[in-house]
Amino acid sequence: MTTTRKKSKALPAPPTTLFLFGARGDLVKRLLMPALYNLSRDGLLDEGLRIVGVDHNAVSDAEFATLLEDFLRDEVLNKQGQGAAVDAAVWARLTRGINYVQGDFLDDSTYAELAARIAASGTGNAVFYLATAPRFFSEVVRRLGSAGLLEEGPQAFRRVVIEKPFGSDLQTAEALNGCLLKVMSEKQIYRIDHYLGKETVQNILVSRFSNSLFEAFWNNHYIDHVQITAAETVGVETRGSFYEHTGALRDMVPNHLFQLLAMVAMEPPAAFGADAVRGEKAKVVGAIRPWSVEEARANSVRGQYSAGEVAGKALAGYREEANVAPDSSTETYVALKVMIDNWRWVGVPFYLRTGKRMSVRDTEIVICFKPAPYAQFRDTEVERLLPTYLRIQIQPNEGMWFDLLAKKPGPSLDMANIELGFAYRDFFEMQPSTGYETLIYDCLIGDQTLFQRADNIENGWRAVQPFLDAWQQDASLQNYPAGVDGPAAGDELLARDGRVWRPLG
């Protein structure tokens, strides 16, 4: 699990009306409300916070609050082993501010009701969180603008939070950005990527830029290549309809994996303000080499899991999952090679992979270093040194580990890799968290550092567009049985460069 970021002398966020569009959906129940509960537990929410659910179902305020409490208790606290009960005092503080609006997202009368709720709240501050299907993003924002709900005053802010996927290709991402910027300014837009709420991701910047040891070798003189992996053991579960139109590339690469790439590869910002950090991230994603269609095809692998077995349990193939076409050509695994054309990283390949139904759940960044000069070991048993890595694991065992080559005891010159590092849970108290706590809090206080800017979004889609174009011409798939680490072609992508994936786990 991740933890809530501890800001120095953090104060409660200002009183705000937080509108949750799609309030009856899984995102609100499983992640947003537990995150709000945790923020309240930590004293980071003002008692003037009002939470207003917006959805088409007919539900009273009391029924809505009860539904959220039941889910929080039964699904989040108990089943995930994070505690035995909801703290009555914490939940009571939240419940006082929970309301519900029944309304159609495409009906202007709904927005008139939202305006009335703001007027009655005692504060002009409002955040509109779009936890909806992507098809509603443009329409909801346009209607918020038409109703005057995005107009800010001297003492009142208005902000919109947009979930992923932010577009489905470069063209749609540009169109969505254009729609948003017609009715509000960039400083009002919070494009959220929950990976950036994870402590280990934020720690990349701290580790890189506060330890001079790292910065000295963080370049192409010492780094051979970088691997970024997001492996899942689960299949598509109940998301077959969504996944059929999305696939692994759109679902994971231009957002999650490119955000990790940007944190690893960005230049030191002039300051750690939102504009400086986001500017450097946009630059490095913009420096990803634009492959031709032929190069994109050669530097990518598409895979789809078939039936398999894990720990004696039979698992269905993707095409047998609910709401999936029996002849589906949607990829559930993707591996890419990308290059960053700037002074620091020229010549260093970045290998990215993500997939479902793999052997272990593991999200990690692996920095592989060039071998040290080893002429002094000539005529010994050590003719080639093993690769050494810096491994940053985002989940499930959050922490960092650094390889050190050491001599094994004995008369002969034998070496072994020794891992030096730390796991977060061994050094810090880990409070239950969903990963959204930091992001919600930052939105409420107006800190955009961990949110994506328009140019970063568009640069990401610009980098993956050649792969989309190549796959449109050739949608062939490499099958892999559930429970393995992707198709053999994923290994071959590195093997032809004389490299191998670091084992997962």
Residue appearing with tokens 């949750």 = 20
- Was 187 annotated as part of a binding site? no
Yes or no: say if 401 and 421 are a contact pair by the CB < 8 Å rule: yes
Interior angle at CA 445, CA 173 and CA 118, nearest 5: 85
- Was 9 annotated as part of a binding site? no
Yes or no: say if 247 and 188 are a contact pair by the CB < 8 Å rule: no
Yes or no: say if 306 and 333 are a contact pair by the CB < 8 Å rule: no
- Was 356 annotated as part of a binding site? yes
- Was 105 annotated as part of a binding site? yes
Helix boundaries (H) for 184-327: 199-210, 212-217, 240-244, 247-252, 258-265, 274-286, 293-298
Closest CA to 41 of 30, 33, 51: 33
> What are the residues facing 434 on neighbouring strands?
none
List the catalytic residues: 256
- Was 341 annotated as part of a binding site? no
Interior angle at CA 459, CA 457 and CA 462, nearest 5: 110
Angle, helix 108-121 to helix 137-146, in steps of 10 degrees: 60
- Was 327 annotated as part of a binding site? no
Closest CA to 16 of 44, 40, 48, 63: 48
Binding site per annotation, positions for NADP(+) = 104-105, 164
Binding site per annotation, positions for substrate = 194, 198, 232, 251, 356
Binding site per annotation, positions = 104-105, 164, 194, 198, 232, 251, 356
